[in-house]
Amino acid sequence: MVEDWLANAYEGMSRRQFLARMSASGLGLAGFAIASGSVAGEVITTGSIGLRIVEDKVFSENYPIPIYDAYPEGSGKYPVLVVIPEIFGMHDHIKDVVHRFAKEGFLSLTFEPYAREGGVLQLADIAEVRKVADSVPDERVIADLDAIVAYAKRHPAAQANRIGITGFCRGGMYTLLYAAHSREIRAAVAWYGQIKPEKKPGVRQKGPLDVASQISAPVLGLYGEADLGIPVTDVRALEAALKADGKTAEFAIYPAAPHAFFADYRPSYRADAAKDAWGRCIAWLNKYLKA
């Protein structure tokens, strides 16, 4: 999966040029993933003005998982939106996305999926990142999400009966898996989440297409036509499976958009697709969490 966005990321330039740009910034592959406008050139910074920011820990299976949440200042209560990170975990881009959702009127929160392994932000080689992430069982991530949803329901700023979930790349896959797992979820938005992931004993037994019939929440899928790791046929297969089961589902496939087209810190960023997808995402969440 990560190789897919890497291939997409240097679309329009040679691999040598791509690596040279990273080297000029002093970045390894993992550093590139968490870093700056010196590479992507269009990094969006939302800031926290008008928001309350909380950094805390939630216990999951007796382990303290770092979380980060944001919501509008004031005394109101807001629908909850859990944001599942990409393979690189809870880095600055993901925190900024949490801010963006909070400014749209949500209690938005994210977490560090690889806290038990010490995180992956310090790893300089993508193979090392994959070694960590690919060893984490899906069941553990689902359990962590259960703990985070329980925390959110107790939050003094939460509308506890209005919980949505969204995620990017690997987080998009977990968005779909968790929507199949939990009846607490009232809306799901998957950003280019893999639909037919590789299965591995002890780590992953099923993918989103396998559990489509178990999803009850309305699902919005946002995918790129030029994604090298997620064929359009897979996207259409999931959409068809959900609709055949009577589910509410809508999938947008952006022409010529690569994997990670929303990630403004990567060369894969496509401003037009990202803007349209963001508008669709907010409209979906407003419809099913605020109405």
CATH 3.40.50.1820 assigned to domain 2-290? The reply is yes
**Count of residues in the chain:** 291
The pLDDT value given to residue 88: 87
The pLDDT value given to residue 35: 38
Which residues partner with 225 through β-bridges?
A: none
Whether the CA torsion 290, 259, 192, 257 is positive or negative: it is positive
The pLDDT value given to residue 44: 86
Which residues partner with 82 through β-bridges?
A: 109, 165
Q: Can you tell me the distance from the alpha carbon of 8 to that of 280, in angstroms, rounded to the nearest whole number?
A: 23
Active site residues: 169, 227, 259
pLDDT digits (tens, 9 = 90+) for 56-77: 999 999 999 999 999 999 889 9
Q: Can you tell me the distance from the alpha carbon of 252 to that of 25, in angstroms, rounded to the nearest whole number?
A: 34
The pLDDT value given to residue 47: 86
Q: Can you tell me the distance from the alpha carbon of 94 to that of 141, in angstroms, rounded to the nearest whole number?
A: 17
Distances (CA, A) of 203 to 52, 135, 141, 169, 199: 36, 6, 10, 18, 7
CA distance between the termini of the chain: 36
Question: Which stretches of the chain score pLDDT less than 70?
Answer: 1-42
| Residue 115 CB neighbour total at 10 angstroms | 18
The full 3-state SS of the chain, as one line of letters, equals CHHHHHHHHCCCCCHHHHHHHHHHCCCCHHHHHHCCHHHHCCCCCCCCCCEEEEEEEEEECCEEEEEEEEEECCCCCEEEEEEECCCCCCCHHHHHHHHHHHHCCCEEEEECCCHHHCCCCCCCCHHHHHHHHCCCCHHHHHHHHHHHHHHHHHCCCEEEEEEEEEEECHHHHHHHHHHHHCCCEEEEEEECCCCCCCCECCCECCCHHHHHHHCCCCEEEEEECCCCCCCHHHHHHHHHHHHHCCCCEEEEEECCCCCCCCCCCCCCCCHHHHHHHHHHHHHHHHHHHHC
**46 phi/psi in degrees, rounded to 5:** -90, -35
The pLDDT value given to residue 42: 64
The pLDDT value given to residue 40: 42
Q: Can you tell me the distance from the alpha carbon of 106 to that of 150, in angstroms, rounded to the nearest whole number?
A: 17
Residue 236 tokens read as 């259409």
Calculate ∠ Cα 74-81-215, nearest 5°.
150
Q: Where do the domains of the chain lie?
A: 2-290
The one-letter amino acid at 79: P
